[in-house]
Structure 1
Amino acid sequence: MSVPTFPTGGTLLDTFKKSFVDVPVDADKDNAIATTDFLDAAESLTTIFDALGSVAFSPVKNDMMGNVKKIRERQLAAPAESATLQELVINELKTKKHNAAEGLVWLVRGLDFTCIALSQNLAKDGEELSESFRNAYGNTLKPHHSFIVKPVFSAAMSACPYRKDFYTKLGADQDKVVAELRPYLKALDNIVAILKGFQDRKEAKW
């Protein structure tokens, strides 16, 4: 897992193809979320797992990338019906299939897990990443994981680097790292909340 390099004075977030801050959310259309931008942002976020540095995080990253792939495949198969994530899910379910819809459920859980872990860690100066990630895992992914998968993810939580080492990998200027992370995580939290609300609705279930 190689961490992307970035220019001197820059941060890891500068290397992202798309930031969640820039993902269009159409408030006039029931908070419709642009599919392509969202998937690019989700894909970019997985770079953070590379910064965590341990191969133990490979299953976490691979799981998220696999779910991005499922959604992209549906988008490519029916582009006219997939401009927003909500349209993509509703239109796929009309075909009696739910591969992408299920992929989005798991992707949202993975994003929720990452968002909660990093937000909690930023909010608590002295807390190590392993504690933040373990707490987030218990509240998001763990209840949905089988007894076979749980130990794999638990191992990743234990393999978190020390807090100071992780943030250094995100950028040399720590004030800038925090200044960029805060709005990024706030935007991600908003998108996750919108999608969880949508997935709770009857039209999004199969």
Structure 2
Amino acid sequence: MAPYFQTVKSFTDVPVTDAGVDTLAFLEACQGVLVLFDILGSTAFGPVTSDIKGNIVKVRARYDAAPTQSTTLEELVKNEQGEKKRPATEGLMWLLRGLSFTCAALLNAQANSTEELSVAFTKGYDTTLKKFHNFIVKGIFSVAMKACPYRKDFYAKLAADPAGGPSTPDSIVNEELDKWLAALNLIVKRMEAFYEKHGYNKGF
């Protein structure tokens, strides 16, 4: 297994049942996304990681306040409705948007092995977050896209052994990344449909 996937909880390990998406496992896997942006290594992604961190905190705060009503993401959101402010509902909505961007960018990278990350991430941004951002935020993201590391350097970091051992073969890195992305994509699409169906994305 590639070192990155040994050190974080994969979205493939987040239980998804008819009842919903397991809240705590999902939040733990989201921490791994922050590690992924650390691997990307550019300070230009600071606003992205800050946003993801802040929204994880909002969702976790709701879980801690009402754990028995928040075992799944769906329950957590449902049980916050009717309150004057819905910080967890809004936080999860933006967290999902950030995850959608990350997923789309890396799916592009996986589908086009000759494409540099700056191109893959720009395409991902254009199809996900861009429509929600104003002119200033779009400018910040434009800078971040240009600051993406070279593709070969990023994939080499995913494969590298921090202890100095041999790197993981590319085939295994790609296989694990594909599984991680497939599971993430499934959760994001499921939750986006849930928000849309019940109108939980309204009012923010």
Deviations 1:56-80 (A, max 9, x none): 1111111111110010111111111
- 2:6 alignment partner in structure 1: 14
Corresponding residue number in structure 2 for 1:204? 200
Q: Which amino acid aligns with 2:82?
A: K
Q: Matched residues in 2 for 1:146 and 1:81: separation?
A: 35
Deviation, 1:203, is: 5.5
CA contact (8 A) 1:74 1:88 kept: yes
Give the aligned residue type for 2:148. Answer: C
Identify the match of residue 150 of structure 2 among 154, 162, 167.
162
Q: Show the counterpart of 1:178.
A: 174
Whole-Å Cα distance in 2 between the matches of residues 108 and 189 of structure 1? 10
SS of structure 2 residue aligned to 1:200: helix
Work out whether residues 90 and 203 of structure 1, in 8 Å CA contact, stay in contact via their aligned partners in 2. Answer: no
The unaligned stretches of length 5 or more in structure 1 are 1-8
Give the match for residue 130 of structure 1: 118
- Aligned 8 A contact 1:11 1:177 in 2: no
* 8 Å CA contact 2:59, 2:88 repeated in 1: yes
- List runs of 5+ in structure 2 lacking aligned partners: 160-166
The aligned counterpart of 2:131 is 143
The answer as to 2:28 corresponding to 1:33 is: no
TM score, norm. by length of structure 2:
0.91
How many Å separate the matches in 1 of 2:63 and 2:137? 28
SS at match of 1:160: coil
The match for 2:87 is 99
| Deviation of 1:175 (Å) | 1.7
Structure 1 counterpart of 2:163: none
Does structure 2 retain, via aligned residues, the 8 Å contact 1:128–1:162? yes
Contact 2:80–2:89 (Cα < 8 Å) also in 1: yes
CA RMSD across the alignment: 1.3
Once the two structures are aligned, what percentage of the paired residues are identical? 48
Q: Which amino acid aligns with 2:91?
A: G
Aligned CA distance change for structure 1 residues 96 and 90 (closer, same or farther; 3 Å): farther
Q: Contact (CA 8 Å) 2:108, 2:123: kept in 1 or not?
A: no
Q: How far apart in 2 are the matches of 1:74 and 1:166?
A: 35
Structure 2 equivalent of residue 70 of structure 1: 58
Q: Name the CA distance, whole Å, in 1 between partners of 2:84 and 2:77.
A: 11
Aligned to 2:189: 193
